[in-house]
Structure 1
Amino acid sequence: MDKRSKIALYAIGAVIVLMMIAEITKPKALNWRDSYAAADKIPLGCYVLFNELKEVSSKPISVSTKTAFEGLKDFEGKEKTVRLFINNGISFDKQDSESLIKYVENGNSVFISTNYMYGILSDTLNIRIGTDYNNFFKKPSLNSFTSPNLKTNERHFKDVIENSFFISLDTINAVALGTTKVEKTEKISADSVPDTNINYIKVPFGKNNGAFYVHTNPFAFSNYHLLNGNENYAATVLSFLPKHQIIWDNYYKSGRKVITSPLRFILQNQALKWAFYIAMLSLILFVIFRGKRTQRIIPVIEPLKNATLDFTRTIGDLYYQHGDFTNIINKKIQYFLEQIRTKYYLNTNELNENFISKLAIKSSNKIEDTKALIDYMVYLKSKSNHTETDLIQLNKHMESFTKNTI
């Protein structure tokens, strides 16, 4: 790599480091997303409420991460409980609605705090929630209770609020527990919405003292309001509930954690997201600056093949085809004697009885077999012409000898 390329790489690396430092040190923007999840510490999360409930409740808090239909199966046949649903908007399907109705008919209670509620359950309770977008929406409001004894616990919500209320309800069965009041700053013609409206009701259901508690100000339970002097109002709202074990819903939440792919999980985590970006950038830089190899591929050189055996076989076939048995026999005898000299260090000039005895001992062959081989070799050396039978017989003697050789 030349000097200019190195300077360019160093400059790019310095820019990346500076961008990382700037991103890490800059103040994070406040997240105003409505979450209502128990683990979220953002302004509109429910971290404070969930942990306070665990402190003040005499019984452990159960957390449900399933639908109403699936979650209620886990508590069938057990003691009476109270199920809490807090979210900006809640809508139950037919199966969930029927499960909640059966759950309340068995003597349990359901608390719902939401700005918008739709579906079969809303129709069954004969209630409708709405808002006056001309006068009430996101304006300061006084949230109070119908009981005069609770006047000290009413609170004036000045900001971070959406003022919803009941625009219709079953006046025969529903019991009003709380109201919201907004002072209208402008008079609009044909305006029939009063300043004060009901925002908290109790609807008894069944014959076992079960009830639905419906509240239209979920903002009151957010971290923002609980940490800004409105905690008494939220505590009073929940004080109307029976003193049963609480089941906290963590499924019907706008801030429910939903991870559908590994990449989404990585991008949702700040540290993993930056690690992913750096890895991708590094890979791109590597491809740009190191895409071309600095050295050609070294070719693979196969080692030389040992062709001695093939050569020997070829020469043998050549001799055999020409019928020169005398030459082949002489070569085999010479090769055999060379092996004797090399392996057993014996002198082969005189093939006498002493030589035969020493060869038999060193090669672990019988003296008779060794003598037969040597005598046959001497006999063949004395002949001037040889036949194919002589060659075959010599080869048999040699194979028999070498088979028993150590």
Structure 2
Amino acid sequence: MDKRSKIALYSIGAIIVLLMIAEVTKPKPLNWRNSYSAADKIPLGCYVLYHELEPFTSNPLKTSDKSLYERLKDFNTSENTTLILINDYISIEDEGSEALLNFVENGNSVFISTNYIYGTFADSLNIEIDRDYDGFFKDPSKSIFTNKALKNNERLFDDVIENSYFTSIDTTKATVLGYMKDEEELLKEVNFIKTPYGNNGGAFYVHSNPFAFTNYHLLNDKADYAATVLSYLPTENNLLWDNYYKSGRKVIKSPLRFVLSNPALKWTFYISLLGLIVFVIFKGKRTQRIIPVVEPLKNSTVEFTQTIGDLYYQHGDYSNIIHKKIMYFLEFIRASYYLETNEFSERFIQKLAVKSSNTVQDTKSLIDLITYLKSKNNHTEKELISLNKQIEHFTKNNI
């Protein structure tokens, strides 16, 4: 390799190395995915809120990674608890809705902050949330409280916002705790309510701005507003953080998810896998190699006979074919019925008819034709066809 080629090669290698370094060291793009997960530190995660909830309860903050039906169906009601549900939409199945209503009816509380809400429980509370797409859908809006003493904790959300509000509430039971309004204060909509449920002091606290509880807003001067909203919750209750109804929930898609989530099945799987590995190590070397399949020689007698017959037929040698068919047929009689074929007497015809299950008339007709053909030297195609048909008719009744 000459000097010029080496310089070109080294230059290309240096460029590739520089590109790799630039790719590895370049800053990662900011992830703006809606998550609301307690484990996510991205702007729209809830890592900050989750770790700031401890002052709200004297007991350890609990987390639920199951559906509401699984988590609440056998819930311990000895101590009142507040369940916190925060996501861009809350869609709860019928069984979960029933479990949630029973949970609140027993004196517990539920805090929900969402842009959309679906489920039987929402219909039971007569709650609907919508967005003003023709108005200030993503325009700056100010979230305020009904209590004027909390005016200092009101905040203007000028970005990362979707202005959702209540379009339906049960005015006979619900208490309005907060509103949102545009910058010109020309439009005001309800965005925070409390709805009691049951006779044991349980209640739903429903809020329509989940963005207010994300890392982005809590770290940008909106923490006082979020804290004020949460201050309406019963302070003596334990807190249960939902980590299941989340857009950013980590879902294991492996087919072994169910097996590995069950301790008994998990250890069975591991032991079976270990046993299989041991079997392969110790048994694999002792196993004989696969014996190749040797196909048996093909019997081509029928094809050969057919080819020879076609050859005779194409040359028009009908006499030779007739002679051979008669010879083979008489051999068939001797081998199958143990009869002598030297003389075609009436006794021979009767015995052959009985043993072959043919009528005496059909047997006599065939023997007469054979006798006639044997007496001739030259034969025609028509005689060959007639002989073949009678032999086939005679042998088809053979048992």
Q: Tell me the SS of whatever aligns to 1:83.
A: strand
Question: 1:64 Cα deviation (Å)?
Answer: 0.5
Q: Tell me the SS of whatever aligns to 2:58.
A: coil
For 1:248, the equivalent position in structure 2 comes to 241
Question: 1:20 Cα deviation (Å)?
Answer: 3.1
Paired-residue identity, %: 61
What count of residue pairs does the alignment treat as equivalent? Answer: 253
Question: 1:152 Cα deviation (Å)?
Answer: 1.4
For 2:180, the equivalent position in structure 1 comes to 180
For 1:197, the equivalent position in structure 2 comes to 189
The answer as to whether partners of 2:88 and 2:210 remain within 8 angstroms in 1 is yes
Counterparts of 1:77 and 1:139, CA distance in 2: 43
Structure 1 residues 15 and 251, CA, compared in 2 at 3 Å: closer, same or farther? Answer: farther
Question: 1:14 Cα deviation (Å)?
Answer: 5.8
For 1:223, the equivalent position in structure 2 comes to 215
Question: 1:184 Cα deviation (Å)?
Answer: 6.4
Matched AA of 1:153 = N
- Give matches, 1:43-192, under 5 Å: 43-73=43-73, 75-183=75-183
Question: 1:137 Cα deviation (Å)?
Answer: 0.4
Counterparts of 1:55 and 1:11, CA distance in 2: 60
The answer as to whether partners of 1:106 and 1:206 remain within 8 angstroms in 2 is yes
Correspondence for 1:206 among 189, 198, 213: 198
Counterparts of 1:103 and 1:33, CA distance in 2: 31
1:326-369 CA deviation, whole Å, 9 max, x = no partner? xxxxxxxxxxxxxxxxxxxxxxxxxxxxxxxxxxxxxxxxxxxx
1:197-235 CA deviation, whole Å, 9 max, x = no partner? 100001100000000110000011011111111111100
For 1:34, the equivalent position in structure 2 comes to 34
The answer as to whether partners of 1:112 and 1:214 remain within 8 angstroms in 2 is yes
The answer as to whether partners of 1:140 and 1:159 remain within 8 angstroms in 2 is yes
Question: 1:11 Cα deviation (Å)?
Answer: 8.3
1:230-258 CA deviation, whole Å, 9 max, x = no partner? 11110010011112110000011111112
1:74-93 CA deviation, whole Å, 9 max, x = no partner? 63233110000000011101
Counterparts of 2:121 and 2:77, CA distance in 1: 23
Counterparts of 1:179 and 1:54, CA distance in 2: 27
1:234-291 CA deviation, whole Å, 9 max, x = no partner? 00100111121100000111111123149xxxxxxxxxxxxxxxxxxxxxxxxxxxxx
Structure 1 residues 125 and 63, CA, compared in 2 at 3 Å: closer, same or farther? Answer: same
Counterparts of 1:59 and 1:183, CA distance in 2: 41
The answer as to whether partners of 2:77 and 2:106 remain within 8 angstroms in 1 is no
Counterparts of 1:25 and 1:15, CA distance in 2: 15
The answer as to whether partners of 1:135 and 1:184 remain within 8 angstroms in 2 is no
Counterparts of 1:261 and 1:18, CA distance in 2: 38
1:100-151 CA deviation, whole Å, 9 max, x = no partner? 0000000000110000111212111101100111112011111011111111
Counterparts of 2:193 and 2:170, CA distance in 1: 10
The answer as to whether partners of 2:88 and 2:247 remain within 8 angstroms in 1 is yes
The answer as to whether partners of 2:141 and 2:157 remain within 8 angstroms in 1 is yes
Q: Tell me the SS of whatever aligns to 2:53.
A: helix
1:35-64 CA deviation, whole Å, 9 max, x = no partner? 110011111110110011124532210000
Q: Where in structure 1 are there 5+ consecutive unaligned residues?
A: 1-5, 186-193, 263-406
Q: Tell me the SS of whatever aligns to 1:257.
A: coil
Give the alignment's Cα RMSD to 1 decimal: 2.6
1:266-325 CA deviation, whole Å, 9 max, x = no partner? xxxxxxxxxxxxxxxxxxxxxxxxxxxxxxxxxxxxxxxxxxxxxxxxxxxxxxxxxxxx
Structure 1 residues 260 and 184, CA, compared in 2 at 3 Å: closer, same or farther? Answer: same
Q: Tell me the SS of whatever aligns to 1:206.
A: coil
Q: Tell me the SS of whatever aligns to 2:39.
A: coil
For 1:365, the equivalent position in structure 2 comes to none
Q: Tell me the SS of whatever aligns to 1:143.
A: strand
Counterparts of 1:44 and 1:73, CA distance in 2: 31
Matched AA of 1:254 = S
Structure 1 residues 17 and 236, CA, compared in 2 at 3 Å: closer, same or farther? Answer: same
The answer as to whether partners of 1:162 and 1:217 remain within 8 angstroms in 2 is yes
Question: 1:95 Cα deviation (Å)?
Answer: 0.5
For 1:258, the equivalent position in structure 2 comes to 251
Counterparts of 1:249 and 1:201, CA distance in 2: 20
- Give matches, 1:372-383, under 5 Å: none
Counterparts of 2:216 and 2:231, CA distance in 1: 20
Counterparts of 1:209 and 1:49, CA distance in 2: 26
Q: Where in structure 2 are there 5+ consecutive unaligned residues?
A: 1-5, 256-399
User: Computing the radius of gyration over CA atoms, which structure comes out larger, 1 or 2?
Assistant: 1
The answer as to whether partners of 2:143 and 2:178 remain within 8 angstroms in 1 is yes
Counterparts of 1:168 and 1:63, CA distance in 2: 31
Question: 1:182 Cα deviation (Å)?
Answer: 1.3
Question: 1:15 Cα deviation (Å)?
Answer: 6.1
Question: 1:19 Cα deviation (Å)?
Answer: 3.9
Matched AA of 1:259 = I
